[in-house]
Amino acid sequence: MTRLFRIQSKAGWAAFVVIFGIALVAVPWLNLMIPVDSPYHLPDYMVSLLGKYLCYALLALSLDLVWGYAGALSLGHGAFFALGGYCMGMHLMRQIGTRGVYGNADLPDFMVFLNWKELPWYWFGFDHFAFAMVMVVLVPGVLAFVFGWFAFRSRITGVYFSIITQAMLFAFMLAFFRNEMGFGGNNGLTDFKDLLGYDLHDQSTRVGLYVASVVLLACGFLIGRFISSSKLGRVLVAIRDAESRVRFLGYSVTNAKLFAFTISAVLAGLAGALYVPQVGIINPSEFSPANSIEVAVWVAVGGRGTLFGAILGAFAINGAKSYFTGAAPEIWLFFLGALFIGVTLLMPKGILGLASGLAARLKRPPAATPQQETALVAGREHA
């Protein structure tokens, strides 16, 4: 289908193939093929770390779709991420079987500990990988659809939308902290053994998960591009600029936002589902409001409304976080706080905005440079 190839320029495709190609091939090769004592060997922990970043990047990308394009800043995207993660975590828990501390084949350890006698009904089906995957998509998707339908139908916009998404997230956090919910309470789900029969502690499995994350992020990026380069993408931008004008043109603002929000939630859920086996745990702290706000700053730092900026921002900030929490943990919150302030005050268009501004200055008259191609909001020609 030619439409698919037209979602970005030739230069954009070239950049896409190069970046994702390197991520897909070079990292596993450097880790598995290069001997451990070589300086070019990529340590095992780096693979897992990069895999984690990839999931964060997909989460950031999903937020960019609703915030950067439709202008609805969701502070509750952590909920979709965590719900996807819990769906995957439930499957992994069922995979443990009799290898748990209590050796109970029917119940996860924490339920045995709570003296539960049988599996709650909502755990049924999670023994099967396919069912769990369907749930990974459905649970965040349906939640976003229902919640979004209520919110957008009543025309809750701007900071009001941010606040009620945060309230939703907060409610989920409180709920998942409860032991009675049957999701492991405070401790969450952990001690996973294997996925589809592959041992999660094997390095080859980890590389496999990493590769899956790269592929998923690439797909997420293409889906995002497909939407943002379509007329619907321009409708979303129009909604961001002047919502009521879009209504008077005859478009259903509710439906357009609902579409973007639901797709975005599904992507966030998928990111969470791949995140859980790579970090080995999912607990209610993933629902904490602070985490979800942080995602917004990843997007803002990279440059919102660009998709690629979200990915860039997620990698940059999480890289910095890993560095700081190792080197000088007390500095990290100062740095993050300053970043929130700095990026909003000094570089509202993020790194990509700066880069494209710089490129435009260097190269006059401005031809369509690759940076611009990705940096500018749906600013494409219809030749």
Query: Which is nearer to another protein, 345 or 362 (by Cβ)?
Result: 345
With contact defined as beta carbons under 8 Å apart, do 277 and 209 qualify? yes
With contact defined as beta carbons under 8 Å apart, do 42 and 27 qualify? yes
Residues 313-332, one symbol each (x = binds another protein by CB under 8 A, - = not), give -----------------x--
| Distance in angstroms (rounded) separating the CA atoms of residues 78 and 293 | 9
CB of 28 to another protein, least distance (A): 35
* Helix, strand, coil abundance in the chain, percent, nearest 5: 75, 0, 25
Q: Which residues pair with 190 in a beta bridge?
A: 281
Using the contact rule CB under 8 A, the part of the chain among 18-26, 162-170, 308-316, 351-359 near another protein is 162-170
Helices and strands, counts by H and E, the chain = 16, 4
Using the contact rule CB under 8 A, the part of the chain among 15-23, 100-108, 116-124, 157-165 near another protein is 157-165
| Distance in angstroms (rounded) separating the CA atoms of residues 145 and 300 | 25
| Distance in angstroms (rounded) separating the CA atoms of residues 156 and 254 | 10
N-terminal to C-terminal alpha carbon distance within the chain:
18
Give the residue, chosen from 57, 90, 195, 237, that forms a contact with another protein under the rule CB under 8 A.
Answer: 237
| Distance in angstroms (rounded) separating the CA atoms of residues 74 and 380 | 27
Query: Which is nearer to another protein, 28 or 302 (by Cβ)?
Result: 302
Query: Which is nearer to another protein, 130 or 290 (by Cβ)?
Result: 290
Over its C-alpha atoms, the chain yields an Rg (Å, rounded) of 21
Using the contact rule CB under 8 A, the part of the chain among 24-32, 127-135, 203-211, 233-241 near another protein is 233-241
* Residues contacting another protein: total by CB under 8 A: 73
Give the residue, chosen from 60, 189, 235, 271, that forms a contact with another protein under the rule CB under 8 A.
Answer: 235
Query: Which is nearer to another protein, 230 or 369 (by Cβ)?
Result: 230
Query: Which is nearer to another protein, 70 or 92 (by Cβ)?
Result: 70
CB proximity list for 89: less than 8 A, separation 6 or greater: 188, 189, 192, 276, 282
**Subset of residues 341 to 360 that bind another protein, contact rule: CB under 8 A:** 341, 343-345, 348
Reading phi first (left if > 0) and then psi (alpha if -120 to 50, else beta), residue 16 is in alpha
Residues 363-382, one symbol each (x = binds another protein by CB under 8 A, - = not), give --------------xxx-xx
Query: Which is nearer to another protein, 196 or 341 (by Cβ)?
Result: 341
Using the contact rule CB under 8 A, the part of the chain among 213-221, 229-237, 264-272, 308-316 near another protein is 229-237
Only one residue has tokens 């997230």, namely 169
**Subset of residues 163 to 202 that bind another protein, contact rule: CB under 8 A:** 163-164, 166-168, 170-171, 174-175, 177-178
CB of 373 to another protein, least distance (A): 14
| Contact flag: residue 250 with another protein (CB under 8 A) | yes
**Subset of residues 105 to 144 that bind another protein, contact rule: CB under 8 A:** none
Residues 63-92, one symbol each (x = binds another protein by CB under 8 A, - = not), give ----x-----x-------------------
Query: Which is nearer to another protein, 34 or 331 (by Cβ)?
Result: 331
CA distance readout (Å), 120 to 37, 69, 107, 115, 183? 50, 40, 10, 13, 10
Only one residue has tokens 């053994």, namely 193
Query: Which is nearer to another protein, 67 or 210 (by Cβ)?
Result: 67
**Subset of residues 274 to 313 that bind another protein, contact rule: CB under 8 A:** 289-290, 293, 296-297, 300
Which long-range contacts does 248-255 make (Cβ < 8 Å, 24+ apart)? 253/152, 253/155, 254/149, 254/152, 254/153
Please provide the size of the chain in residues: 383
Query: Which is nearer to another protein, 185 or 280 (by Cβ)?
Result: 185
Residues 48-67, one symbol each (x = binds another protein by CB under 8 A, - = not), give -------------------x
| Contact flag: residue 23 with another protein (CB under 8 A) | no
Using the contact rule CB under 8 A, the part of the chain among 50-58, 117-125, 161-169, 207-215 near another protein is 161-169
CB proximity list for 264: less than 8 A, separation 6 or greater: 62, 63, 65, 66, 74, 77, 80, 144
Phi, psi of 282, rounded to the nearest 5 degrees: -135, 125
